[in-house]
Amino acid sequence: MSLSVENKHTDPESKKGLSGRRIFGFVLLGIAAVLIVLAVIGYIMAGSGKSVASLDDMRTQAVLHAASDGLVDSIVAQARQDKLKELRGAKDFRSRGQDAINAELDAAGDAARAEAEALYANPTVEDRTGLFNSIESLESALRAFGTLKESERGRYSELYVKLVDSIGDWTDLTGKAGDDDEKLFSLLTDIVPELGNADNAHLKPAFIRLCRDMSDKEHAREEAEIRSGLVSAMAGAVGDFSALEGLDDDALWEELIRKVPEIEGNERFRDDLLAEAKRRAAAAASGETVEETVKDEGADTVYETQTDYTYFAASDQLKKLEEDNEAAFGALWGELVTVIPDLNNLSSKLQKSMRTSIEDIVWPGSDDFATRYATYTGETGDKGIGFSMKLPASAEKLLVGGIALMLLGLVLVGWNFLTSRFGVPRTIITLFFLYLCLAAVLYDISLPMMMGDILVRMGMYGILVLAMMPGIQSGIGLNMGMTIGCIAGLLGVVMSLQFNMTGFPGLIFACLVGMVVAVPLGIAYSKLLNRMKGSEMTISTYVGFSFVALMCIGWMMLPFNNPKIIWLLSGHGLRVTHSLLNSYAHILDGFLAFEVLGVKVPTGLLLVFLLCCFVMWLFSRSRTGIAMTAAGSNPRFAEASGISVDRMRTIGTTLSTVIAAVGIVIYSQAFGYAQLYNAPRQLGFIAASAILIGGATVRKARVGHVIFGVFLFEGVLVLGQQIANSAVAGGGLSEVMRIMISNGIILYALTQSGGASRE
Amino acid sequence: MNKKSFADHIKKYAVTYLFIMLSVFFIIVSGMDIHYVASQLLLRLNRNAFIVLALIIPIIAGMGINFAITIGAMAAQIGLLLTISCGVTGIPGILMAGFITLVLGSLFGFLIGRLLNKMKGQETIGSMILGYFANGAYQLLFLFIFGSLIPLSDKVTIVGATGVQNTLNLTGSVGLYKAVDGILQVPFLTGLYVLCLCAAAFAVIQYTRKKISLRRMAVTVGVVVFFAALTLVPAIGDIFRKTDRHNAITVPVITWLLIGFLCLFNSTVMSTRLGQKFRAVGQSQTVANAAGIDVDRTRVIAIMLSTVLAGWGQIVFMQSDGIGTFQTYAAHEQVGLYAGAAILVGGASIDRATNTQALIGTFLFHSLFITAQSAASNLFGDSAVGEYFRAFLSYGVIALALVIYAWRASKKKKEGSVDLNALAKN
């Protein structure tokens, strides 16, 4: 309906030929072509011997510059120090202001700099071959060392992540092993067999230390948990703290134990709790309340295990390469000393810092023309080298800029076609996604790795997004209350944990329990929605929110009793976050996983997602599915042709709820953790925005919308997060982007659906 | 009063009566000192009433619960931030913040109104999601634009990083804390007596001017005298008086006057031409349109008023709240939720609301809020349950009100179609 209106509106414009937008688009395309041609020329020049030779010359110059610069700096620092000593010796030192002293120090420094620069700047060398050769040999030594170090760190990181991801309870391990390191290590090798390999032998002490540290940290965390549990128990049980004002410590402690039985036996927190109680009592006396806040755990925070390299240890081979490296630098140092003899006067500390800066110049970590050029010019500050160097150095930027302009130009030229075909938001977000890919290239973010992440997140969120589909098809619109299904699924997960089920049986059990619980909930919920035609989205949002809040109480009260999943302190109530590492985390991701072109494909996860999509597709082709879609898209017509609209809506809603239950189980296994309480609250919004980005409307949805939407949405989020992190110091930008995209797309869908059609 | 109308009354205010019972039950179960509960309630009432009252106009204009008042709160926070940054203190500071809120709130309200006009019938959910969306924009502004593109004094920014500090302090040299509350504080009982006196005098004057009946005047005076007399009972009066266990409860006069003015504004605006338009648009947009009212424009004005008022309400809240600091990035988040829940508890619905309902609702909602934690702890032996119960109350009452409203509307639609047939016959 709205589509045809749009077409009518835009057709005359496109017939007019060239609108301003198209002209601008063509101009952009022209500029893009020029940039891309320049970039290609740049790449060709970068490969030519001549440019590389002059780049090598620049390097020699940069090394000399670094040496002389360091020397000059050290002389200046020395001069300032001497001057300061002299001033300190003078009688009027204390009476003089800081500014005056600084000015004098600066003057002394400047004088020394002028003198030193006259002596050492631009050192002249008759014959550079010796210097050149020693730089070459240092480069190859550094390259070998760097490559090996990189691979060893990679191997270490792999082991680290594997270990940290698969151990849920470190204190348990250290408890079993006691002080015996050997026993501890054998326990570790039981968990990660690769640790026992001969070529990892040098890492053994590192991992033992890691395990001990982790266990200590975990212990501290548990203590903190108990402490905060006690504080909130105290806050609740006491309520009015003003009655406690003025009691002395012992009396207060007695009183607290009387009111809050849990405190008994936790003498180690005595000081903390007393201080807290006093603080509250003082606040209460002055008529203020201390607000208790329940922290909202965001549903979308993916913990990724970050490798901690402080435990890294080098292998013998690496140590040997380091020695080679030492020798090569010694040779270069010798050459430098022949040019600037005074270098020998430097203190060993300054020599060391000069060494790192020289090494960074000799081997900047890559053979890339632009990186090398930037490093050398950064040192010498000399950019006055002709076009022949600048063009190849900026070839990548030119290429990326050219492609970016080209994309924009193409979109502008084909705007009418694209928007009538894909809609405005999808066009813009796709363009945004492509731009993020380009930005990833500029920031040296590995696209294949990102693609692997996107695939994992696709599998993780996919089924949840799929749950939106039957809701839309059956005519209830965006089913924000799918969180009801999510809670059913989470119930399945905690039940599997309660019975200590692991592996595929646990996962399947969780899914089945979730589905079984979801069916009656979904039916009841759909009966409610059937009475609320026209305002389903508002109602479903708040019913979902209320159900989440109600279940918060439910999670506290349900009679689970496996000590692994309930609060340590009070002995009842489920914890917020449950690690699935010891049960079935990532088993689908790992199933038949393979790597292609550097992209890690989580085969099992994607297969399950695609299988669900396929089943859903089959269903929508079935008699019931067709009837459901008919009931959703035109209820009056459906009613007239003998379809029970209410029954179809019930089927659609229930199906949506059941799929959501499965979805959250799969989500939790891919995430590695199951999160209860407020965590599922926003999942409906995430799923809704994904399917809308995929091109669905509040009245129409297909499987293709689900797949494309979840790819695009997660793609934008994953890439956006990485790029935001490398572009802007301090996080937050990616979260802002998520909030704005996700809610913006829902708002857009609302403006398209609501409007004058109602009332 | 006949039986039927009484039954209707109970039905109409079922939610309110339910909450009255819950409140009483919770106050008893929580075992809290009644003086403490009373003082907290008064505090919270004067902090929150203004924002809740800001919801009334859009409800009457048929736009449902305007959850986008969070955006008004954001405008107020921007105002306060700029005020702190400029170093204006005291009343001038509050006025400056209020002026900035007026400007920004009108602008934002205009935009919100335009957007909501594109999603008629879905305003409640639309305004809620709009609030979420604006929260993103707010974070962007405070994290990345303030302090870099828009320079601010280092009183509010983090030195050596971008963005505004996590918590902003209104106390000390900033001089905004209790700037309104602190102008004039009187003991609660004094305030109550003055209020009673005024009400009685007003009733008598109205009677002598023949505006109200003798019976009406007698009832008003009687109620007033009853309340005044009630405080003479020592057990009740002592709650508010200074005793050896606690200080007297005082109330900030100016804040209450502001709330009073807003009530007055809400009721007088309804008798103006603009108010008639609000009502007409709220009852039926088609009819209003036929009567020559610019429906969209009227709706935009309603939202602009609501946004600005909510912003001022947020300033009233901020200057009074807690210990004088606010969470820069989170203080606005729950504003819409709590205000919406409060007005619904008071018996308002999606298309009807009055000042009394807003005030009663705020009172009831916050009485539950204060006692829920202790009550839950006593009932279930776990204080966290109380915290979750509060959240459930907020969401649950909104869901309930929406369900009741939608249910009634669908019922009415069925009846309405019958009426239409009857009309056609005539």
The residues spanned by each domain of chain B are 13-425
Any B CB within 8 A of A559 CB: no
Q: Is the predicted pLDDT of residue A727 greater than 80, yes or no?
A: no
Q: Is the predicted pLDDT of residue A759 greater than 50, yes or no?
A: no
The helix, strand and coil proportions of chain B, stated in percent and rounded to the nearest 5, come to 75, 5, 25
- What confidence tier does B387 reach under pLDDT thresholds 50, 70, 90? confident
Any A CB within 8 A of B203 CB: no
The CA-based angle A665-A670-A674, given to 5 degrees, is: 50
Three-state DSSP class for residue A675: strand
- What confidence tier does A731 reach under pLDDT thresholds 50, 70, 90? low
Q: What value of ipTM does the predicted structure carry?
A: 0.86
Which letter does DSSP use for residue A294 in this model? Answer: P
Q: Which of residues 354-413 of B touch A (CB under 8 A)?
A: 370, 373-374, 376-377, 380, 382-389, 391-392, 394-396, 398-399, 402-403, 406-407, 409-410
A35-49, A396-410, B121-135: the lowest-pLDDT one: A35-49
Cβ within 8 Å, pair B133-A237: no
Q: Which of B33, B119, B136 sits opposite A743 (nearest CB)?
A: B136
Contacts of A559 in chain B (CB under 8 A): none
* Closest chain A residue to the Cα of B393, Cα to Cα: A546
Q: What is the mean pLDDT of residues A328-347?
A: 73
Cβ within 8 Å, pair B384-A232: yes
Q: What is the mean pLDDT of residues B367-380?
A: 82
Q: What distance in Å separates residue B3's CA from the closest CA in chain A?
A: 29
Tell me how far apart the alpha carbons of residues A640 and A649 are, in angstroms, rounded to a whole number.
16
Which letter does DSSP use for residue B162 in this model? Answer: S
Cβ within 8 Å, pair A539-B399: yes
Tell me how far apart the alpha carbons of residues B255 and B178 are, in angstroms, rounded to a whole number.
10
Q: Is the predicted pLDDT of residue A147 greater than 90, yes or no?
A: no
pLDDT of amino acid A296: 40
Q: Which of B33, B118, B410 sits opposite A240 (nearest CB)?
A: B33
**Is the distance from CB of A587 to CB of A604 less than 8 angstroms?**
yes
Disruptive mutation site among B285, B395, B405, B417 for chain A (greatest number of A CBs within 10 Å): B395
Q: Is the predicted pLDDT of residue A757 greater than 60, yes or no?
A: no
Which letter does DSSP use for residue B148 in this model? Answer: T
pLDDT of amino acid A655: 92
* Closest chain A residue to the Cα of B127, Cα to Cα: A747
Any A CB within 8 A of B126 CB: yes
* Closest chain A residue to the Cα of B337, Cα to Cα: A542
pLDDT of amino acid B425: 43
Disruptive mutation site among B130, B387, B394 for chain A (greatest number of A CBs within 10 Å): B387
Disruptive mutation site among A546, A649, A685, A689 for chain B (greatest number of B CBs within 10 Å): A546
Report the helix count and the strand count for chain B, using DSSP H and E.
Answer: 17, 4
Which residue shows structure tokens 């399947």?
A508
- What confidence tier does A236 reach under pLDDT thresholds 50, 70, 90? low
Cβ within 8 Å, pair B376-A232: no
Element (H, E) at A339: helix A316-339
Contacts of A725 in chain B (CB under 8 A): none
Tokens encoding A438: 């380009």
Q: Which of B122, B383, B406 sits opposite A750 (nearest CB)?
A: B122
Q: What distance in Å separates residue B103's CA from the closest CA in chain A?
A: 24
Q: Which of B31, B33, B402 sits opposite A539 (nearest CB)?
A: B402
Cα distance between the two ends of chain A = 18
Q: Which of residues 268-327 of A touch B (CB under 8 A)?
A: 283-284, 287-289, 291-292, 294
Measured from the Cβ of residue B384, the count of other Cβ atoms closer than 10 Å reads 26
Please write the tens of the pLDDT for every residue from A678-719: 888 888 899 999 998 888 888 888 898 999 999 999 998 888
Please write the tens of the pLDDT for every residue from B37-82: 888 888 888 889 999 999 999 999 988 889 999 999 999 999 999 9
Contacts of B118 in chain A (CB under 8 A): 750-751, 754-755
Q: What distance in Å separates residue B99's CA from the closest CA in chain A?
A: 28
- What confidence tier does B414 reach under pLDDT thresholds 50, 70, 90? low
Disruptive mutation site among B383, B389, B414 for chain A (greatest number of A CBs within 10 Å): B383
Tell me how far apart the alpha carbons of residues A442 and A451 are, in angstroms, rounded to a whole number.
16
pLDDT of amino acid B76: 93
**Is the distance from CB of A721 to CB of A734 less than 8 angstroms?**
yes
Q: Is the predicted pLDDT of residue B416 greater than 70, yes or no?
A: no
Cβ within 8 Å, pair A538-B125: yes
- What confidence tier does B300 reach under pLDDT thresholds 50, 70, 90? very high
Q: What is the mean pLDDT of residues A289-306?
A: 47
| Among the listed residues A185, A85, A44, A723, the one whose alpha carbon sits nearest the alpha carbon of residue A441 | A723
Q: What distance in Å separates residue B309's CA from the closest CA in chain A?
A: 24
Q: Which of A236, A735, A756 sits opposite B386 (nearest CB)?
A: A236
Any A CB within 8 A of B416 CB: no
Q: Please say whether the dihedral angle defined by the alpha carbons of residues B180, B184, B188 and B192, taken in this order, is positive or negative.
A: negative
Cβ within 8 Å, pair B382-A233: yes
Any A CB within 8 A of B29 CB: no
Q: What is the mean pLDDT of residues A255-260?
A: 77
Contacts of A569 in chain B (CB under 8 A): none
Any B CB within 8 A of A133 CB: no
**Is the distance from CB of A631 to CB of A649 less than 8 angstroms?**
yes
DSSP output for B240-263: HS--SSSPPPEEEHHHHHHHHHHH
**Average pLDDT, whole number, for chain A?**
79
Share of chain A above pLDDT 90, in %: 12
Q: What is the mean pLDDT of residues A501-514?
A: 90
Q: Is the predicted pLDDT of residue A1 greater than 60, yes or no?
A: no
Element (H, E) at A579: strand A577-579
Tell me how far apart the alpha carbons of residues A276 and B124 are, in angstroms, rounded to a whole number.
41
- What confidence tier does B239 reach under pLDDT thresholds 50, 70, 90? confident
Q: Which of A538, A548, A549 sits opposite B402 (nearest CB)?
A: A538
Cβ within 8 Å, pair B120-A759: yes
Q: Which of B119, B143, B385 sits opposite A750 (nearest CB)?
A: B119
- What confidence tier does A755 reach under pLDDT thresholds 50, 70, 90? very low
pTM assigned to the model: 0.77
Please write the tens of the pLDDT for every residue from A386-444: 667 777 777 788 888 888 888 888 888 888 888 888 878 888 888 888 888 888 888 87
Tokens encoding A209: 């230390």
* Closest chain A residue to the Cα of B372, Cα to Cα: A236
| Among the listed residues A425, A447, A413, the one whose alpha carbon sits nearest the alpha carbon of residue A712 | A425
* Closest chain A residue to the Cα of B282, Cα to Cα: A759
pLDDT of amino acid B70: 93
Q: Which of A537, A541, A546 sits opposite B396 (nearest CB)?
A: A546
Any A CB within 8 A of B137 CB: yes
- What confidence tier does A123 reach under pLDDT thresholds 50, 70, 90? low
**Is the distance from CB of B183 to CB of B254 less than 8 angstroms?**
yes
- What confidence tier does B7 reach under pLDDT thresholds 50, 70, 90? confident
Share of chain B above pLDDT 90, in %: 19
Q: Which of residues 141-160 of B touch A (CB under 8 A)?
A: 143-144
A181-185, A492-496, A634-638: the lowest-pLDDT one: A181-185
Contacts of A145 (CB under 8 A, 6+ apart): A318, A321, A322, A324, A325
Any B CB within 8 A of A727 CB: no
Cβ within 8 Å, pair A747-B115: yes
Q: What is the mean pLDDT of residues A299-318?
A: 66
Q: Which of residues 242-261 of B touch A (CB under 8 A)?
A: 246-247
Which letter does DSSP use for residue B185 in this model? Answer: E
Contacts of A550 in chain B (CB under 8 A): 392, 396
Q: Which of residues 231-260 of A touch B (CB under 8 A)?
A: 232-233, 235-237, 239-240, 242-243
Cβ within 8 Å, pair A232-B128: no
Residue-range domains of chain A with CATH? 33-112+346-413 (no CATH), 167-313 (no CATH), 447-750 (1.10.3470)
From residue B238, how far is each of A245, A676, B193, B216 by CA, in Å? Answer: 20, 46, 15, 31
- What confidence tier does A2 reach under pLDDT thresholds 50, 70, 90? very low
Tell me how far apart the alpha carbons of residues A230 and A268 are, in angstroms, rounded to a whole number.
12
pLDDT of amino acid B188: 82
Strands B185-187, B167-169: pairing kind: unpaired
Share of chain A above pLDDT 70, in %: 89
Three-state DSSP class for residue A596: strand
Cβ within 8 Å, pair A758-B129: no
Contacts of A535 in chain B (CB under 8 A): 121-122, 124, 402, 406
